[in-house]
Amino acid sequence: MTFMNDLQFIWFSVFVVLVIGYTILDGFDLGVGMLHLFSKKDEERRLMLNAIGPVWDGNEVWLVTAGGALFAGFPDVYATLCSAFYIPIMILLTGLIFRAVAIEVRSKQPMSWWRWIWDLQFSFASFLIAFTLGIVVGNLIRGIPLGTDKEFTGQMGDLIDPYSLLTGVFAVSLFSMHGAIYILMKTEGELHDKLRKWINPSIIFFIISYATVTMATLIYMPHMAESIRERPFFFIIALINMLAIANIPREIQRGKDGRAFASSCINIIMLMALYAVGSYPNVVRAINDPAILSLTIFNSASSEKTLEILLLIAIIGIPLVVSYTFAIYWIFHGKVKLDTNSY
């Protein structure tokens, strides 16, 4: 590999790390939102909101940073994705905006009808974000029609197919389980006991979705397994993934909620690693001619000088973001309680 190839791979790895960070951190925010309406008491809903209250907006920063990294490091990919997924991106941004508004204004008034309106908006926006992200990933796995000018040549209808809908449902199940475990870890008392009854259904929902998506991918998207067939040592990723999933109900049963959450985080990391390994070096796969028209990390990256500067910025910036994230979570660790300043 040349130095330029090294830079391209490193910057792609940085982008993947940022996406994984967003998926783990905002993933449980989305899960909490989707489970929000299952609790009928206002106090319980406030507890759920305050479990993510100090961190949800900071978690979104990882998505913004990942978008900036993609724009700077792989501008052709950024341009193609924004044109191909224009409507899904607008739906995603709308969901993020309305979720933020719902969290902030929900408890500003005491009327039950007021809070119900914003509760509905919070849950629906969380579901919409998760489902849309799943559809986008499903299309990136399957591929989209591209022209020789690297432009999207399809229609909006081309993005809606059974496989992408299936990955959308899978994303909902993944974040629902992740959020349920997080809330279980952050609460105590009556709500904590009630959440224990929610955990098993959320795990079962995830496992069924996981098995279905895995079978569909192996049968209809065989290119995702080629890297593992060619390099068998990558199978360790799938093995760790399965062990992490198996450990979640085990730790829940033992009352080790923190370890169950850690296993859920490892599950997400391994899922993203399997996606990265399966699609590499493609970032946007061309369904009409994968070998010629696909956008890879090598044919869509910025110049060598740009990547060098970006790498320097990343070396300085990413540790700061990670340090800030750890500091915030350490400050607000422990069980959530309500006070006069709570949502």
Q: Give me the DSSP letters along 146-160.
A: B-TTS-B-S-GGGG-
Tell me how far apart the alpha carbons of residues 111 and 123 are, in angstroms, rounded to a whole number: 19
Tell me how far apart the alpha carbons of residues 135 and 232 are, in angstroms, rounded to a whole number: 29
120, part of any domain: yes
The strand pairing partners of 144, in sequence order, are 286
Contact status, residue 116 vs residue 199, Cβ threshold 8 Å: no
342, part of any domain: no
341, part of any domain: no
Tell me how far apart the alpha carbons of residues 233 and 317 are, in angstroms, rounded to a whole number: 32
Any residues with CB less than 8 A from the CB of 219 and at least 6 apart, and which?
none
Answer whether 0.85 is exceeded by the pTM. yes
279, part of any domain: yes
| Helix 3-35 / helix 112-142 crossing angle, nearest 10 deg | 150
337, part of any domain: no
Any residues with CB less than 8 A from the CB of 330 and at least 6 apart, and which?
none
34, part of any domain: yes
Q: What integer is the mean pLDDT of 83-93? A: 94
Quickly state the pLDDT bin for 196 (edges 50, 70, 90).
confident
* Domain that includes residue 262, residue range: 3-331
With CA atoms as reference, report the closest residue to 135 among 158, 104, 152, 115: 158
343, part of any domain: no
Quickly state the pLDDT bin for 1 (edges 50, 70, 90).
low
Tell me how far apart the alpha carbons of residues 164 and 225 are, in angstroms, rounded to a whole number: 18
The better pLDDT of the pair 336, 202 is held by 202
Q: What integer is the mean pLDDT of 129-147? A: 95
Q: Residue 29, CB half-sphere, CA atoms under 13 Å: how many?
A: 24
With CA atoms as reference, report the closest residue to 265 among 281, 248, 289: 248
Contact status, residue 273 vs residue 299, Cβ threshold 8 Å: no
Q: What integer is the mean pLDDT of 47-58? A: 88
Q: What is the pLDDT of residue 213?
A: 96
39, part of any domain: yes
How many domains are contained in the chain?
1
Token couple for 154: 């399809």
Q: What integer is the mean pLDDT of 309-333? A: 87
Quickly state the pLDDT bin for 317 (edges 50, 70, 90).
confident
Tell me how far apart the alpha carbons of residues 144 and 195 are, in angstroms, rounded to a whole number: 40
